[in-house]
Structure 1
């Protein structure tokens, strides 16, 4: 915490002295919600829900963020590592299929300690790392042996698009290295008799309006590199919140034709292991209330 290098921005902030990193986080964990969540991929949410912990702040700062209240740190309360371990066990008691860590990167050392405590206390269900893809391999290695499933984004291939929308022209380079490490740790997907994922990697890609070609490049890279050893989740749910603050090209939703073009491209490549979205996926109802549910003792 005294010279933070946890994400690829490597800002060097002394979080232990009360300074805030580029992500916005200080030395203490801040969590906005811990509850059963039913809007992940079917093999993650299942019938009982995924035990999802939503961490405040984010290193990436995408201009179109769908959870800006969370990523900007406007929601959440500070808790201890001990309390985080208790939350994991409470979610298991509620019937969660797994523990789902949303935007965990900037709290990796805290999470690693909490997971060890919870596992020693009999956690016994899979742990999902649910992040942006903009990860440091060194940081991911702190979690080796603690994470069972990586549910990660791969947002952009093009440096210009990554710079324009996430201020991270190096996004693709870091994400490629990160996914390689995730696959090394989690391996080829394993499911139980009920179709729930026990181990493996799912890579999400959110199609942005007007950016079909970059999306095709992401899908091509992933399939040519990993084939069906990983699962792809191709998403159409982009929602232009606060349109007046968005670049002009992002002020509309994805068209049916754009999304069909991406799905057709993936199928033509030979992708078999994956998920797609049908119906009214682009809805604010997918964004839960960040009201401290399940956070405080």
Structure 2
């Protein structure tokens, strides 16, 4: 079984990274929102996360990509809140309405260890961008107590370069969701200034750390980049631009999951252009655009196209 990269760090390095990340909370630049509030003293920014991590739930998840699930499931930890404010969020109860509870580092570490005990193949951090310092604190504790599983960083793509640098050699699988190839759409629908500009830099840095997705003999991913992209009505996400960026600036062997499960959740009803499901034609057009861009590892939830 492949072990997490963090076990290869020099003694004390994980604790050092955690300390540096926690210090960032005092003038918070942990994510790309750069709110610069003092989370150590209880000030809250856009994400509404404080000094402690907040978690909605955790457990083996069998609804992720096959390369993450295997036979034991992906060990998901669903963090409460988000550094994005997506008007169509399908997990809005968690990300926007704040369902969940604050947990100290020891308790978060215990969740990771429990997921390993239950046979999961990885630790899958869902929406972790605003809680990276707290995760690093907990990982340091968990590693000392025997955690060995690879770490999956399951993000909305709006990540700060300095924070990603702290995760270098710690995260094994980066799984960003590139939501839009249009900065104006990112601001309007997700409350993120220069969303695509930021996401492109972040994804390139992620790929530079872990390279293309690699799988073991069981077909389970243990390292690399896996990108998700949700197709929106009327191509509001400019999907073809996402695929062209990945093929031309990252790698034509980028593993891309093109998702068709959009439905008008949360506040989407307030936007006529978002207030419907996508059509099969729109989805096929997105997949065709990925092929034209030259991407070679396209996953559509029900099959793979190479």
Matching residue of 1:126: 150
Q: Please give the residue correspondences for 1:1-12 in structure 2 after superposition, counting only pairs within 5 Å.
A: 1-12=25-36
Deviations 1:123-178 (A, max 9, x none): 12211000000000101112121110001111111122112111224101111111
| Alignment match, 1:87 | 111
**Do 1:61 and 1:166's aligned partners in 2 also have CA atoms closer than 8 Å?**
yes
Contact preservation (8 Å) 2:176, 2:227: yes
1:268 CA drift (Å): 2.7
Q: Do the aligned partners of 1:215 and 1:262 also contact (CA within 8 Å) in 2?
A: yes
Q: Residues 94 and 213 from structure 1, CA distance in 2 versus in 1: closer, same or farther, beyond 3 angstroms? A: closer
| In 1, Cα distance between equivalents of 2:119 and 2:129 | 26
On the 8 A contact 2:47/2:81 being kept in 1, the answer is yes
| In structure 2, C-alpha distance between the alignment counterparts of 1:77 and 1:200, rounded to whole Å | 31
Distance 1:8 1:82, change over 3 A: same
Provide the residue aligned with 1:198 in structure 2. 222
Pair 1:210–1:140, CA change in 2 (3 A): same
| Between 128-137 and 220-229, the greater mean CA deviation after superposition | 220-229
| Cα distance, 1:225 vs structure 2 | 1.4
| CA–CA separation in structure 1 for the residues paired with 2:277 and 2:104 | 40
Matched with 1:263 is: 287
CA RMSD in angstroms comes to: 1.6
1:157-202 CA-to-partner distances (Å, cap 9, x unmatched) read: 1122112111224101111111111112112322111000010001
Residue 233 of structure 2 is aligned to residue 215 of structure 1: no
**Where does 1:77-116 land on structure 2 (aligned, <5 Å)?**
77-116=101-140
Counterparts of 2:102 and 2:72 in 1: how far apart (Å)?
A: 27
**Are residues 1:276 and 2:300 paired?**
yes
2:75 is paired with a residue whose SS is strand
- Asked if 1:224 corresponds to 2:248, the answer is yes
Contact 1:64–1:246 (Cα < 8 Å) also in 2? no
| TM-score normalised per structure 2 | 0.87
Matches for 1:41-56 after TM superposition, within 5 Å:
41-56=65-80
Q: What is the deviation of 1:97?
A: 0.8
- Are residue 160 (structure 1) and residue 190 (structure 2) matched? no
Structure 2 distance, partners of 1:43, 1:213, is 26
Q: In 2, are the aligned partners of 1:116 and 1:146 still within 8 Å (CA)?
A: no
Give secondary structure in 1 for the equivalent of 2:51.
coil
Distance 1:161 1:212, change over 3 A: closer
Stretches of structure 1 that go unaligned for 5 or more consecutive residues are: 280-297
Sort the Cα spacing of 1:223 and 1:2 in 2 relative to 1 into closer, same or farther, 3 A: same
Count of residue pairs the alignment pairs up? 279
- After TM superposition, give the deviation of residue 48 of structure 1 in Å: 1.6
**Does the CA-based 8 Å contact 2:254-2:295 persist in structure 1?**
no
- 2:210 maps to what in 1? 186
